[in-house]
Amino acid sequence: MTFQDSPRAIKEGLTNLDFISKIIEHLIWPLTLLIIFIVFRKHLSNIMQKLSGIDASATGISLKFDQQIDNAIENFLPTQDEDPLIAKTGIKFGEQKEPELPKTPFQQILSLRDKLNHQIILKSQKNNISTIYKSSIDLKNELLNSGAISLQEAKLFQTLIDLTNACDKTITQSQVNKVKLLSNTLKL
């Protein structure tokens, strides 16, 4: 006895294979991503803790704020081999100071940005550079071109402005402290 495949049986077999193929096609990427997330969950957790923003563009995806802070600290703070910078404060004895209200980390960053802008304006005015209708970056460039600030100071100022502009209300006190540490090394 011979078994003959009827056209209907062949058609049903192909539709079943097509159905299975379509299910696999639709499930393979979610399953692959799930496996990747499970395998790399600790690494992804560390990245997510440092993440305060994602930039997606045609050039790719980049993580923002904490990476910027870490890079800036690495580039501008002295290493263990160099002499540490010691900041002197202008404390005057006998002078009462109004107690400052605690500020949120975001407010502290905004205050720091205002302070940086004020410092660059004062430095420009001391060097007879007009500050009218100029941004702090324009002033920084003019100070650099005139030799009033060094290239290192210009880069640090640019980095601090970029950091203070990149933050949002989710910034943490730890991140603010790192940015303040950087700003304390800027001598304008």
Burial class of residue 120 (count of CB atoms within 10 Å of its CB; 0-12, 13-18, 19+):
buried
> Contact 76/159 with Cβ under 8 angstroms?
yes
Specify the 3-state DSSP secondary structure of 57. Answer: strand
Instruction: Output the furthest CA–CA distance in the chain (Å, rounded).
Output: 114
Percent of the chain as helix, strand, coil, to the nearest 5: 60, 5, 35
Mean confidence (pLDDT) of the chain: 77
Most confident of 14-28, 52-66, 91-105, 155-169: 155-169
Is 116 within 8 Å of 109 (Cβ atoms)?
no
User: Are the CB atoms for 186 and 156 separated by under 8 Å?
Assistant: yes
73 in Cβ contact with 181 (< 8 Å): yes
Mean pLDDT of the 170-185 span? 88
* Domain spans in the chain, listed from the N-terminal domain onward: 9-42, 65-79+104-184
Instruction: Give residue 128's pLDDT.
Output: 93
The contacts of residue 101 (CB under 8 Å, 6+ apart) are none
The angle that helices 173-184 and 65-76 make with each other, rounded to 10 degrees, is 30
Is the pTM above the cut of 0.75?
Answer: no
In the predicted structure, residue 2 carries a pLDDT above the cut 50: no
